[in-house]
Structure 1
Amino acid sequence: MKMHRDILVIEDDEDDRDILREIFRDLGYKNKIVFFSDSTEALDYIRRPEIEPFIIISDINMPKLGGFELRNIILNEEILLDKDIPYIFISNAQDEHSLKQANKLSIQGYIHKGNDYNKYKEKIKNLVDYWKVNINSFSSKKQ
């Protein structure tokens, strides 16, 4: 089942990756969590035909290839779009421009990281639990 596939986390900041590792460890999901510090490496990974992740959780502001650019590539490559991978942004940015830009990219969620570990963990839990229940009815082509 797709809900048991890998969760991809694309985050260039080491401290933020460590926090997310701890959150996923605390939540105890059986999914393998695959971390990428470089979004270009994540893109190469998801382009592999055998890779069909459960969900992508991506930071926005990253060197080389930002989250907005990565999402745009996924939307414009049919082989990637056909994988129907829910795409969620995580960011400290809450400005109107970032939110509008994210929404233009047909994302399935936007989580503000914030400074409260427990609130952040609850947001991640709610996100993953939602998709575990609804993944079978999701199709990016319907959007």
Structure 2
Amino acid sequence: MSLKGPIISIEDDEDDQFLLKSVLEEMNIPNQIRFFENGLEALKYLEETKEQPFLILCDINMPVMNGLELRQYIDGNEYLRKKAIPFVFLSTSGNAALVETAYESTIQGFYKKESGFSEFRKQIELIIEYWKACLHPNHFKSSN
């Protein structure tokens, strides 16, 4: 994890992308944000990039490759697993069975998206601040 690395958002809803971008700008988060509309697009980026992302925020329900499939692929890929990028589900879905299935992989959190701007902002602030303060294996590998 690099504190300066990009925030990866895997989200197929343009309104939700805009909302996240607006919240991060309002919070003055300096990290670049990279949007991908499905898990397969994000996977190609993660496999090819030399960047060390700060955080992955991933929706569950998306076309082509959903969030659960992406996480399973990352767990099974040694190169991506060693990148140890914090992976948090951020989804409008949040029933008990889905949360349980998500935690069968090595995720670091699951949040049901808040519907109001200020509530969503608090949610994103909580996630960002946690990962900025948290010691993580890649913390010691990169210049922060």
**Residue ranges of structure 2 left out of the alignment (5+ in a row):** 140-144
Q: Tell me how far 1:26 sits from its aligned partner.
A: 0.8
Q: Report what 2:117 is aligned to.
A: 117
Root mean square deviation, CA, Å:
1.6
**TM-score, normalisation: structure 2:** 0.90
**AA aligned opposite 2:66:** G
1:23-51 per-position Cα deviation (integer Å, ceiling 9, x unaligned): 11111111111111132111000001513
1:17 correspondence with 2:17: yes
Number of the residue aligned with 1:61: 61
SS of 1:82 mapped into structure 2:
helix
CA distance in 1, matches of 2:135, 2:2: 7
Runs of 4 or more above 3 Å deviation: 135-139
SS at match of 1:35: strand
User: Does the 8 Å CA contact 2:83/2:138 hold for their aligned counterparts?
Assistant: no
Q: Percent identity?
A: 34
Unaligned runs of 5+ in 1: none
Counterpart-to-counterpart distance in 2, 1:106 and 1:39: 16
> Is 1:72 paired with 2:67?
no
Query: How big is the shift at 1:83?
Result: 0.2
* Amino acid aligned to 1:15: D
Q: In structure 1, how many angstroms separate the alpha carbons of the residues matched to 2:13 and 2:5? A: 24
Higher relative contact order (CA 8 A, sep 6+): 2
Whether the 8 Å contact between 2:17 and 2:35 is mirrored in structure 1 is yes
Counterparts of 1:57 and 1:50, CA distance in 2: 19
Structure number having the greater helix percentage = 1
Q: TM-score, normalised by structure 1?
A: 0.91
Q: By how many angstroms is 1:135 displaced?
A: 4.0
